[in-house]
Each structure stands twice: as C-alpha cells, then as structure tokens.
C-alpha cells in the first residue's frame, strides 16, 4: 500500500507548507462527506472553503425565502442511520436557516471542523507531472502540496453577480441572492427591483412582496411553476419518515433523478385522456417536483405529450391569475414544461395581484445598465429603487472550477479548454488533469438533474473507492484517457439530443452565459443508470483510466 503522508506541515523555503494526501475544495454537501470518507480511509486530508462556515450552497444562499425544493427527508446523507435519525426536520421543505443548522450538525457529528480551513479561497491548482502532485495556492498566499485534488466546489456556486455596467454606481443597496449578507437587510417599505425569476427569484419575490413598499420584477422569460405543498412535521411525521430509512437507502440511488418517486405511472400512450388527466391531477396535488421528474417520461421526448402536459400546467396557472395581461406576462408559451428547471412556489403568482407589485418585461427591451438611481432599460427608461436584487443565477456546472486557475499536464488551462468545449469523463475526471476528481461537474446527473445529496454521495463514494484502489495497488496517479472521455461525451450527447431539453435555452444548456459552449450540463440518462455505469467501471478495474 502506498505510504500515507503523516506530516501536515513542512517547511519550504522558510514558509510553512501543507503536505497532504488529498485536498478537498469545498465544505458543502459533497465536501463534508468527501473529507469524512478520505479521513476514514487514513488519508491526510483537509478541506478548504471560501466561506466562514460549512454548508456550501446553504451557507451562501441566505436570501429571503431560500428553501429546499427537494423534500427534507431525502435531502440527506444515507450512509449512516445514526446521522440520518439524529436530525428531525420541522417541515417537508424547510428554509435555509434550518438547512444550515443541519449542515453544522453533520459537521459536528462527524467531527469534521478541525480538518476544514474556512475563509480560504483556492486561487490556483497546478499539476506537476514529474512529482505526480498538485500545488495549490490560496488568495492569501498559502501553498498546499497534495497528491489528490477533489473539487467539491458546487455546481451552482459561481454567481453571476457582476452582470451590468454601472453596478458600483448604484446609490442604494444591491445584492446577488447567493451573496446575501448575514445581517438583516431592511426591505420594509422600500422600493425594490428584482432581476430574474428563476427558482431563486421566485422564492425571493413571493417572500418579500407583502413587506416592501414597491416591487418591480424584471422578467425576460416566464416560468412554468408548480405549487408547493409544504406540510409541517411533528413527532409522528418525523417518526414516519425515519422509519423509511432503509427504503430510501435502497430506492433513491436507483430512480431517474435520485428522488423517491420515479416514472411509475404507466405509458402515456396506453392511457385515455381522462386517465392521464387523473394522474396529472393527483401528482399536481402532491405539490412537489414529481410532476416534472416522475410523471410521464414521454414529456421529455415527445413534443405532443410535452405540449399536453405544458397546457395542463398553463391551465393551473391561468386558474390562479386574475387578468389576461398577467397571464400573458407570466405563462410560458414558447418552450415546453420541464425542459429546464421547474421551480416550486408558494403564492408566487398571487404576489402579482398586490397593488404595489408589477412586472417589467425585459424580453424586447433588455436591461441596459445600473445607474446611481436604479435600473435603466435599452429604450432609456429608468426605474428608481432603494434596493436591487440580482436573482440572475450562476455560471453553472463549470464556473466553480474555471474561476480557479487549474492547470493540468503540460500547463494546460482548464478555463481555456472549457471555453472551447466542456467535457469530462463521467463528470468524475478530466483527461489531461491527473489525480483531479470532480463532483457536481458537467456531464453527470449531479450537474443539475438530481436530488443533490443522492448524486453527491454516489460520486464521492466512487472517488473514495478509486483512491483506495490506487493505494491498495501501490499506484500513484490516475487519469481518464482521451478515448474514454470522447466515448462518454458521445454517449452523453446522444442521450441529451434525444430529449427536448436541448431545445430550450437555460443554464442547463449554458445559454445563460454569452459565449459558453452549448451542451447539456447534466447527464440525462438517469441517476440509476449513471450509478450503474460508474460501478461497472470500478468493478472492472477502471477501464478507460490510465494508472501508474
């Protein structure tokens, strides 16, 4: 077995240097579990995070109304019954404060804090081929030497926060939702502008609408929405879901999207219109993401089925909206339901009935710049605000990694490479970057189409097993081959192109960022199928990966 470096700090040119077996970037859902597993394996491992605490997404996204869209009882670690049962949720879809407390519970229960360095941003990661090791440098100038590097930096962690010309000139307060301050932001009675109506914008809008003085929402693309049903949990409900621990353990990794529900409603073509309507109604009333990722799989492939399901949802929205103008502004007609992320909401549509809430359509008259007073549109109109909220999303999937200066073999830059074409091998490695493992990266379900905990557990477990394999066989280096990567990309693209998802613009396709190569970020062959493929690779001794 390869020797484990036991010394954490060495002297190098008079500077202290962390010498590690493995460095984990990120202390969110993936990072915490990856750190735990590699430490259990006996590695000298340390996690680094820009944040001042654990939680990743749930540390940063503390905007008003931030909450789960996955049910709390499945957004969980399932490797430990004790950990699972030691925490009790208060509702099905809890808010960010409760989720952040849970992440702290996880870190404390697993005693991880001592191995995490907070307030530390990894600025660069360069691979030294001769030594088979990575050198990381932090923004503060600290240098870390490590054999393995695991990116657990999140798929939605690089916010599009510096989007508009003139942002710094704004005289009021301006916030991106993923950089919301810890201190209370007083919105009562204020004139507030929100740009963006994705899953985040919707949560913000429905939450702040009743308290602000005036709210203008700048909408470029209307969203299909699905009303959330959020029951509160007392001891009986908690006991009930906890009793299903083993069922969830077995079930979640094998469904299409890592949720407990799957496409179990029979084939669309086998049912009468009345039967289909009954299925859709039943699932609609569950008030979860089930309508999207577990009603009828045909809706992802067949335009006619998709249109019928889209019309079902449009009708649900029409029933709630009071006038035609609102229907025109808020109900999508030019893309199909489910072809990008479907947000859950609670009173989002009704918020627009409040007299002080209005919509500014920026589809044909885009935001031009931020002025000292507010938001200026292309036609010169300016809307004045005290507070501007940018719910403008993320450089998803790839952004967290390309914002680090990562250089692999021969000094190749991941940022430059991904500006041309975003490829990975099963989202777990990238050809040309030995001993770099990734989670939540493009071309795996964890990039978007998944209950994140299900997918991130699977990926970190695969990485742990892979590193164990190397150590057991006295191997130092692993790298995906070009052939394996090309084959995975081909399979990924064929799977994606068979669906309607690639026809809609959204962050799923990278189209929210000008110039980003267009490719579906997430593998859409299903969480269960992906897991099976990953397991086969490991069981067969890692074909497609070069090891020495």
Interface residues with ligand NA7 (CB under 6 A) are 156, 163, 195-201, 218, 220-221, 341, 362, 366-367, 391-394, 507, 512
Contact in structure between 79 and 458 (CB atoms under 8 Å): no
Q: How far is the CB of 17 from ligand NA7 (least distance, A)?
A: 37
- Give the H or E element holding residue 38: helix 29-40
Return d(Cα 210, Cα 188) in angstroms, integer: 9
Residue 466 φ/ψ, nearest 5 degrees = -65, -45
Q: How far is the CB of 296 from ligand NA7 (least distance, A)?
A: 22
Name the DSSP class of 169: G
CB-nearer residue toward ligand NA7: 363 or 409 = 363
Return d(Cα 74, Cα 84) in angstroms, integer: 10
Residue 35 φ/ψ, nearest 5 degrees = -60, -50
Residue 102 CA to chain centroid, in angstroms?
Answer: 18
Return d(Cα 548, Cα 217) in angstroms, integer: 56
Task: Retrieve residue 484's tokens.
Answer: 């394996």
CB-nearer residue toward ligand NA7: 183 or 334 = 334
Neighbour tally for 109: CB within 10 Å: 15
CB-nearer residue toward ligand NA7: 133 or 216 = 216
Contact in structure between 68 and 230 (CB atoms under 8 Å): no
Q: How far is the CB of 394 from ligand NA7 (least distance, A)?
A: 6
Contact in structure between 321 and 331 (CB atoms under 8 Å): yes
Closest to 451 measured CA to CA, from 169, 261, 171, 273: 261
Contact in structure between 134 and 436 (CB atoms under 8 Å): yes
Q: How far is the CB of 423 from ligand NA7 (least distance, A)?
A: 22
CB-nearer residue toward ligand NA7: 67 or 407 = 67
CB-nearer residue toward ligand NA7: 218 or 462 = 218
Q: How far is the CB of 176 from ligand NA7 (least distance, A)?
A: 9
Task: Tell me if residue 32 falls in helix, strand or coil.
Answer: helix
Residues forming beta bridges with residue 24, ordered by sequence position = 47, 150
Name the DSSP class of 516: P
CB-nearer residue toward ligand NA7: 308 or 457 = 457
Q: How far is the CB of 200 from ligand NA7 (least distance, A)?
A: 3
Neighbour tally for 312: CB within 10 Å: 17
Q: How far is the CB of 480 from ligand NA7 (least distance, A)?
A: 27
Q: How far is the CB of 346 from ligand NA7 (least distance, A)?
A: 16
Task: Tell me if residue 220 falls in helix, strand or coil.
Answer: coil
Contact in structure between 227 and 218 (CB atoms under 8 Å): no
CB-nearer residue toward ligand NA7: 196 or 336 = 196
Task: Retrieve residue 427's tokens.
Answer: 């989202």
Residues forming beta bridges with residue 478, ordered by sequence position = 547
CA 418, 419, 420, 426: dihedral to nearest 10 degrees? Answer: 20
CB-nearer residue toward ligand NA7: 221 or 468 = 221
CB-nearer residue toward ligand NA7: 180 or 507 = 507
Residue 124, CB-side half-sphere exposure with 13 Å CA sphere: 15
Task: Retrieve residue 20's tokens.
Answer: 């590690």
Closest to 193 measured CA to CA, from 61, 65, 367, 375: 375
CA distances from 341 to 98, 300, 398 (A): 24, 13, 17
Closest to 481 measured CA to CA, from 429, 416, 535: 429
CB-nearer residue toward ligand NA7: 63 or 268 = 63
Q: How far is the CB of 391 from ligand NA7 (least distance, A)?
A: 5
Q: How far is the CB of 223 from ligand NA7 (least distance, A)?
A: 7
CB-nearer residue toward ligand NA7: 97 or 234 = 97
Neighbour tally for 243: CB within 10 Å: 10
Q: How far is the CB of 286 from ligand NA7 (least distance, A)?
A: 19
Q: How far is the CB of 304 from ligand NA7 (least distance, A)?
A: 25
CB-nearer residue toward ligand NA7: 109 or 505 = 505
Task: Retrieve residue 330's tokens.
Answer: 């808020």
Q: How far is the CB of 209 from ligand NA7 (least distance, A)?
A: 16
CB-nearer residue toward ligand NA7: 20 or 204 = 204
Name the DSSP class of 318: H
């Amino acid at each position: 077995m390869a020797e484990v470096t036991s010394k954490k700090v060495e002297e190098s040119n008079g500077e202290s240097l962390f010498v590690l077996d493995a460095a984990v970037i990120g202390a969110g859902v993936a990072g915490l579990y990856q750190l735990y597993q590699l430490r259990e394996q006996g590695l000298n491992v340390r996690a680094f995070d820009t944040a001042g605490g654990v939680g990743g997404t749930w540390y940063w996204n503390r905007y008003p109304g931030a909450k789960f869209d996955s049910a709390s009882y499945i957004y969980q670690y399932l490797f430990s019954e004790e950990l699972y049962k030691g925490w009790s949720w208060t509702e099905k879809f809890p808010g960010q404060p409760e989720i952040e407390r849970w992440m702290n519970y996880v870190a404390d229960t697993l005693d991880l804090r001592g191995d995490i360095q907070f307030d530390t941003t990894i600025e660069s990661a360069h691979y030294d081929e001769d030594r088979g090791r990575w050198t990381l440098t932090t923004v503060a100038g600290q240098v870390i030497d490590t054999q393995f590097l695991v990116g657990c930096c999140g798929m939605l962690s690089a916010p599009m926060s510096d989007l508009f010309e003139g942002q710094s000139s704004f005289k009021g307060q301006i916030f991106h939702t993923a950089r919301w301050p810890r201190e209370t932001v007083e919105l009562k009675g204020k004139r507030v502008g929100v740009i963006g109506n994705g899953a985040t914008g919707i949560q913000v809008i429905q939450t702040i609408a009743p308290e602000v003085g005036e709210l203008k929402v700048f909408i470029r693309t209307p969203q299909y929405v699905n009303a959330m049903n959020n029951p509160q949990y007392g001891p009986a409900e908690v006991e009930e879901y906890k009793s299903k621990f083993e069922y969830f353990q077995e079930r979640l990794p094998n469904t299409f999207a890592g949720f407990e529900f799957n496409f179990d409603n029979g084939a669309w073509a086998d049912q009468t219109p009345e039967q289909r309507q009954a299925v859709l109604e039943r699932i609609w009333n569950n008030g979860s993401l089930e309508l999207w990722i577990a009603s009828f799989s045909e809706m992802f492939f067949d335009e006619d089925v998709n249109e019928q399901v889209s019309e079902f949802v449009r009708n649900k929205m029409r029933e709630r909206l009071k006038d035609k103008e609102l229907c025109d502004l808020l109900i999508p007609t030019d893309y199909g339901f489910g072809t990008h992320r479907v947000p859950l909401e609670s009173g989002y549509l009704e918020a627009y009935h409040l007299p002080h809430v209005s919509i500014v359509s920026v589809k044909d008259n885009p935001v031009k710049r931020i002025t000292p007073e507010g938001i200026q549109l292309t036609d010169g109109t300016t809307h004045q605000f005290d507070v501007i909220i940018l719910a403008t999303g993320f450089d998803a999937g790839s952004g967290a990694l390309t914002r680090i200066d990562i250089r692999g073999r021969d000094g190749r830059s991941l940022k430059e490479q991904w500006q041309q074409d975003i490829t990975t091998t099963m989202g777990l490695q990238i050809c040309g970057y030995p001993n770099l493992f990734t989670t939540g990266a493009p071309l795996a379900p964890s990039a978007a189409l998944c209950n994140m905990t299900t997918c991130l557990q699977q990926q970190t477990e695969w990485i742990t097993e892979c590193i164990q394999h190397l150590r057991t066989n006295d191997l130092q280096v692993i790298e995906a081959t070009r052939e394996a990567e090309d084959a995975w990309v081909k399979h990924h693209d064929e799977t994606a192109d068979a669906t309607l998802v690639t026809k809609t613009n959204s962050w799923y396709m990278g189209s929210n960022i000008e110039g980003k190569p267009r490719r579906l970020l997430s593998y859409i062959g299903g969480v269960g199928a992906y897991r099976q493929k990953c397991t086969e690779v490991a069981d067969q001794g890692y074909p497609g990966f070069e090891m020495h």
